[in-house]
Structure 1
Amino acid sequence: MLARMPWWLLAVGLLFVLGFWAITADETYADIFQKLSGGVLTTLWVTLVAFGLATILGLLIALARTSNIRVLREIATFYVEIIRGIPILVFLFYIAFVGAPALVAAFNWVVGPLIQLGWMEPATIRGFDFVWRAILALTICYSAFIAEIFRAGIQAVGRGQVEAARSLGLSRFQCFRLVIMPQALRTILPPLGNDFVSMVKDSALVSALGVQDITQLGKLHASSSFQFFETYNVVAFVYLTMTISLSLLVRWLEMFMARRDRF
């Protein structure tokens, strides 16, 4: 079994052992890891919430892109092309400093009568936490990419199967739930898992807004202690541990689904 194991995986395993040994045996690395541990929870929270919301929004956009209604198709296509053409970091700043104030102003305008009656306090931009601004930006950005994954999976299902299901009297929703989606999932799940891994890495961009994730805590510690080499070694080790573990899980999922399809 060891002879069949890929060499790259053995090298990764060696790096993990060396990193784990350094963190447990060296007081400097152990101290840095302890200070960064709080950022792991923030990174996972931002990633999980943003990815969950992006998946829901991406599915709705994909349904609009595959709709028979041209207006919906054009609006969804416009959304996907515009969002995918903007760098994530630029969009993060745009949502944080342009979109968020606009949302707060729009909310205050909608509930204006309630504010005038004294039933509500006006919302302020300071009340819109930077963590949620980052989550909103990542949700919008990744929803465009996830929408394309869903669209490809849906369109991979043969048109004849859809027509056969409709001829049997199934409604559009039943056809989607019982015929299209179960088959589309085989195509969708592997790239969706890869997008989740990418979001774990791209979540490091939220440090530009001061969100206390792994990267931001590492930056603060390195600038105050001047231990740049040790700090960013630990930061890289933590991200590698998360992303490679998730990548291996996605690979296992692909092999499992391929093996199940053969039988």
Structure 2
Amino acid sequence: MINSSVDKLTRSTNFLRFLGQHALIAQEESPSTAGEEEIEDQKYHFVSLMLNLVNTFLYMVNTYIIVPTADDYSVSLGAASTVCGVVIGSMAVAQVFSSVYFSAWSNKSYFKPLVFSSIVLFLGNVCYAMAYDTKSLTVLIVGRLLCGLGSARAVNRRYISDCVPARIRMQASAGFVSASALGMACGPALAGLLQWRFKIYMVTFSQSTLPGWLMAVAWLLYLVWLCISFKEPNRATEADDTPHNRASGKTKCGYWAS
């Protein structure tokens, strides 16, 4: 309590706090009591937190891995090179809508939204990769829209806010920001390595389609890991914690907008 008061008076900000605030994830202002810490510990599961951070990383990779090749991909389908802006931006537009229903869904479950997100992202990447062989720009854009509709970043933030104990919430928030930044950096780098071209039966693998196939495999593996290892938090303990959240001026609906 003394350290917290000194910190407020001096307005000092360490690196982890800066990253946590950048993630727009609420942080406890007052120290938790022993009972509240026990409730938080019952909801916390380290592997589930890691799965949320991996989901964040993969989604950001998925967003930026097509940037180096979207231009050539659009031209190969008979569209103007400027259409690549629509291909890249359609995912972000669809994410606006996914934030609404995923945040509402997370009121009841964290596991089911993550499973749904993984399936939709898998299908979206398959559509993106298959657009070359179907010679359809529509399939390409639909694939990217599906990827945007599978964005579970609202669930990832909500899980950290609700299920991670206050004593490590700032570190988890920093991990969320770091996973996002790492994904943004790895996406174009991976695209630069996928410079092969070959064909298996009627399916073409090239620098334009390989990002879609790679991410489809990544989401499929993630889905298997999710189904095996994710632990759904105890909603009974979360309900018990609601009066504390109200007293501190926080409600569940306050997290979805971020």
TM over 0.5: no
Which TM-score applies when normalising by structure 2? 0.32
Q: Is the radius of gyration larger for structure 1 or structure 2?
A: 1
More helix by share: 1
Which TM-score applies when normalising by structure 1? 0.31
Higher relative contact order (CA 8 A, sep 6+): 2
